[in-house]
Structure 1
Amino acid sequence: MEAQKIDKKEVDGASHGYTEPLGLMAQLQRPSIKLDVVPVLDLLLITLLFSLLFTRFVMVPGVRVDLPDSEMQMQPSNLPVAVLTIGNRGMLFFDGAVFELSSIQRGFQQHIQNTPAQEVVLLVKTEGSMDLQLFLKLCRMAQDAGFVQVQVAGEREALPNSGAPLPAVPTGPTADSGFLSVM
């Protein structure tokens, strides 16, 4: 039995024999667990860049323009007028027919050919809101077809802050026609 104890001590001494005499086991410390800040900042920066690159930004549909009040009035003209009405769903009513945007150019050209006068004015009337890009395309098509001027007709609306309508439009030879000349 004593032989077994001696052998056990020799085995234990052999396993701890190299570090015991110098006391190295007492000097060993567990490494502390720290979070390094630089890799975390790198990941945050990469995440920010990806979110900026792959995010769809909402663009404002237009620019607000505050128009100044003016006493300027449009001079009445004796030129023949062709009326283009834009419906709520983008339908185009012109010269007694219904057109799409792709076919209205042909309708403009036929109207100019059938009108004996050299100069014709196009009056654009909307029954709802009108997309600015659509309006600009129509103006370009009208100009290419031969219209000399494009006018916009609109109705007077109540002011947003008050429930009262705008003052009545004066009548007579100096009255404003309610049209806005574009071209």
Structure 2
Amino acid sequence: IVPTKKELYVNVLCKKKKEHMRRMSTFIRRNDSSLPDLPNKRSIDREVKDLKKNIHIARLKFEALIDNGSGKYIQLCDPVYSKNIYNSKNPIYSELEICGASHNEGPCTGGQLIFIFTKKLSKNIRIQFFESIKSPNHGWHRDADFSRNDFHYQCGIKFRTPPYKNQN
């Protein structure tokens, strides 16, 4: 895995794919192998498009080839792919770890300003307050009030607590 800027990713991917195809075509010509035909440009473009959707997930490909004794390689079985491997440095795929908070309680009228400090924080989150008592109405829940400007890099957020349903 080569770290690269996001805007250069597609170019690097295309270059690596073409390099792999060139090596495979040389391998097939040299060994007259029973490997399947190389993928056409359209299927490669489709694969690049799919990979571009999420550059933070990778999979490993395992193949088994055998030398038939005359220097020719035969594919023993279909390739097997690993489960997805997620980029743990990307906050979307890492567990949220709260390092500290300014308050752990507040008034039932809401409006308490709270600061939470984390190790990694994604900007596409919701902070939800809820009542854990099971009830016919599935309990009470409200979202905290905050905006994108309330984030401090990927390590903190400030928000206001919502009012509770019963303020008595």
Q: TM-score range by the shorter chain?
A: under 0.3
Query: Which protein is richer in helix relative to its size?
Result: 1
